[in-house]
Structure 1
Amino acid sequence: MVKINGERLLGDLRALRAMGAIGTGVVRPAFSDMDMQARRWLAEKYEAAGLTATIDGVGNVLGRSSNPGRALLIGSHSDTQPTGGWLDGALGVIYGLEVVRAMAEDPDTKHLPVDAISWQDEESRFYGCMGSRAFCNQFPKEAEDGLADKDGIALADALAHAGLKDVPRLTAEDHDYLGFLEAHIEQGPHLEADGRRIGIVQSIVGLGGMVFTFTGQQNHAGTTMMAGRKDATTALYALAHGINEEFPKVAGVRSVWTMGRVLIRPGAPSIVPGYAELELQYRDVDPAVLDKFEAVVHRLVDNINSKDGATIEAKPSRVRIAPAHMDTGFQEHLSRAAEAHAPGNWAAMPSGAFHDAGVVCTVMPCAMLFIPSIGGISHDFAEDSHDDDITLGCQVLADGAATILAAASN
């Protein structure tokens, strides 16, 4: 049985945490100085573990094994949200590194080919899961043109600043991978609430969304009578209320929706707003439910536009992702490892968050493993997991990876 080194694992996670640390959290957005420092550090770690490390043209860090045979790829992402937690993505990246080292130290597994990777920009500074999409030929180089972050920084400039201009990309076509494993914190409350220590992911939610613009007539708040107003915010509130009233009627058990961005102009208390924006995102593992959400939205918009007030224009969000299903054979290997190390304390479950595995599974078999998030909190400086859950998760992943590779070599 492969034996991971828990202290080494935790030490590397804490070392990665220090790069961009602010309080208990981490600020390490894609292509930032801290992000590139972390990627260069990771490349050095890969080399020290016996891998050949490369940082490609979109910032992916790949460590390649010299062992013969079809390699199993293991990793996640090391970029963070603008105010991120220390384990989101980083957990799976360091798991990949530790599995490589643990297998190399075991005479029964040292011959098995395991590659490790840290994907770039999973957190959507410029384009969600950009690194894994580029690797899977779903983000062509010409797609870089015109992309900018929320502060107006062009992707081309960020690539140049990071020293990646004209650096070649790596793609899945360059390698004949057996598959991909990704470990992650759950980023939700279910494992902790159910007293489970490991989650084996069956499927990853798809997501859709709409961006709404509300156009009315800006006017004086004191002299414009209520009956004659074309208030952009009145239409916005009507739509938001309708969504919360109607979505539950068509939702699935694990459906969620979020109205996470609102803009009102000019944003002054004495002015009737003439313009507003609202962005809606919805998620479910069933594409039929996503279609129902979209149909509800269009019906609500048509109803509001039929009245004498501000008008609404609805456009699909830039990122629309279909639900993804994990490989059943890989799930079985991870499930057996989970039962061996946490008997009765694991569960099969869907993922409510999207992950790089949801992209990579379009070109190779994939599986995911979760550990509990304390309080269900993520995308926040308070994000955390217990040390014993962190080490347990890596041990389960290592054993599952070893049996996947052993089965493939027979």
Structure 2
Amino acid sequence: MVDTARFLADLHDLRKIGTYKTGVHRPTYTKEDMESRRWLMDRMTECGLEPEMDGIGNVIGRHKGAGPHLLVGSHIETQNHAGWLDGALGVVSGLALARAGLPVDVIAFADEEGHYGGFIGSRSFIGQLEDAEIDRLANRYHGKPLREALKEAGLEGRPRMRCAEGRYRGFLEMHIEQGTQLESAGLRVGVVTGIVAIRQWKLVFTGMQDHAGGTTMAERRDAGLSAIRLLAEIDRQFPLVCGPRSTWTTGRISLDPGAASIIPGRCEVLFQLRDVDTAIIARMEERLHALVQESNRREKCPCVLEPVSLSTPALCDQALQQALADAAEALAPGAWQRMPSGAGHDAQYIARVMPAAMLFTPSINGISHHWAEDTKEEDLALCVRVLAEGAARYLAA
């Protein structure tokens, strides 16, 4: 039986480290983040696990008994001024399963939130983070090199752990939904079917920097206007080729030189699209390329489409999914559904080396990456019970 009271108490204790309003500010490798990792190692010891922190900041607590084992976890650093459950929920739920006597290793991966790079903790764990990449990575907000941050955090010189071959039957990650699908349907549990691919592109428009008053409208080559017109056309065309859960986002528009009285001679746009279906992704990317080609035929400012990061979907393991689904039906009959994840998670990388699955709790008003993020405590307690029941069913199969 899961001690849900202790589970909730651990979540509330962890949120005290880096408290910001009703949320948490605990960026990667800050003193608050490192304090939370030491807090976690103490809790692991209390659970009878053997804790270790490696040279990238991953923290693992290993079960001392015989297998078969499951790996359970997520991350505990946060976005800036963000919520108290994103990531932390998956790690603390692992502690709850360990306390309940299940043969699990609990892990907190470093920097899932991408302050220094993309999923560097989980990628390091599966052997897909090279030293050369660590050498060149820096903080996306203030530019501090990753090597410097690791030294300041006391991690310099520590070896980086690797996933032990043959130790695990699978990986489980519990997480808040970060959307409104469960809440809108009046449901309390989501069994995740797969994690979306995130395809990020840079669109670079080249025009002519010139004077805003002396250059007539007919003479202008305004890179910003060309970008806006293409983005509007993308938004008009994508609904014709997308799926029911596809998303696309213009995350940044940068004008150069970015002055009120100067026509921008260059515009850079960061654009991404997401879906869990490779065929739908292919249709959307085909339409994106066609729209860029049409823009270059029509506009005075040519656009170059440059790939930034092109991830692939990660489908959740069928047997793990079914174990979670059976547990959800037993503990919350009629109050759960299968659903894809619209966000990226460490599970998508761990799925490359072992079976992986995820469980979602509802998010109140769908809020996440904001200090107002929250979930009802009764839903948190229910979902950790479902996770434990699903883990037990899968291990017994």
Q: 1:239 to 1:83 in 2, by over 3 A?
A: farther
- 122, 125, 139: which one aligns with 1:132: 122
Aligned length: 396
**Range that drifts further, 186-195 or 149-158:** 149-158
| Match in the other structure for 1:57 | 55
Helix, strand or coil: the match of 1:385? coil
| Match in the other structure for 2:385 | 395
| Match in the other structure for 1:244 | 235
Q: Which amino acid counterpart does residue 244 of structure 2 have in structure 1?
A: V
Contact 1:74 1:96 in 2 (8 A): yes
1:177 aligns with 2:172: no
| Match in the other structure for 2:323 | 333
Helix, strand or coil: the match of 2:396? helix
The separation in 2 between residues aligned to 1:142 and 1:328, in whole angstroms, is 36
| Match in the other structure for 1:17 | 15
Helix, strand or coil: the match of 1:36? helix
Helix, strand or coil: the match of 1:118? strand
| Match in the other structure for 1:66 | 64
How far does residue 132 in structure 1 lie from its aligned partner after superposition?
0.8
How far does residue 201 in structure 1 lie from its aligned partner after superposition?
0.7
Write out the 4+ residue segments of structure 1 that deviate beyond 6 Å after TM superposition: none
Cα deviations by residue, 1:90-138 (Å, 9 ceiling, x for unpaired): 11110001110122xxxxxxxx521101111111112221111111112
**RMSD over aligned Cα atoms:** 1.3
- 148, 157, 180: which one aligns with 1:166: 157
Query: What TM-score does the superposition give when structure 1 sets the normalisation length?
Result: 0.94
Identity of aligned residues (%): 47
The separation in 2 between residues aligned to 1:17 and 1:266, in whole angstroms, is 42
| Match in the other structure for 2:350 | 360
The separation in 1 between residues aligned to 2:213 and 2:131, in whole angstroms, is 53
Q: Which amino acid counterpart does residue 19 of structure 1 have in structure 2?
A: I
Contact 1:373 1:384 in 2 (8 A): yes
Contact 1:207 1:290 in 2 (8 A): no
How far does residue 310 in structure 1 lie from its aligned partner after superposition?
2.1
- 367, 372, 391: which one aligns with 2:362: 372
Cα deviations by residue, 1:155-205 (Å, 9 ceiling, x for unpaired): 111111111112111111456211100000000100000111000011111
Helix, strand or coil: the match of 2:199? strand
Contact 1:184 1:370 in 2 (8 A): yes
The separation in 1 between residues aligned to 2:95 and 2:361, in whole angstroms, is 17
Cα deviations by residue, 1:197-232 (Å, 9 ceiling, x for unpaired): 000011111110211222211111111101110111
Query: What TM-score does the superposition give when structure 2 sets the normalisation length?
Result: 0.97
The separation in 1 between residues aligned to 2:327 and 2:165, in whole angstroms, is 30
How far does residue 83 in structure 1 lie from its aligned partner after superposition?
2.8
Contact 2:138 2:146 in 1 (8 A): yes
Contact 2:173 2:357 in 1 (8 A): yes
| Match in the other structure for 1:31 | 29
Helix, strand or coil: the match of 1:178? strand
The separation in 2 between residues aligned to 1:142 and 1:224, in whole angstroms, is 47
The separation in 1 between residues aligned to 2:94 and 2:197, in whole angstroms, is 25
- 227, 237, 246: which one aligns with 1:255: 246
Helix, strand or coil: the match of 2:394? helix
How far does residue 20 in structure 1 lie from its aligned partner after superposition?
1.3
Helix, strand or coil: the match of 2:344? coil
| Match in the other structure for 2:288 | 297
How far does residue 84 in structure 1 lie from its aligned partner after superposition?
1.5
Q: Which amino acid counterpart does residue 287 of structure 1 have in structure 2?
A: T
Contact 1:211 1:314 in 2 (8 A): yes
1:197 aligns with 2:188: yes
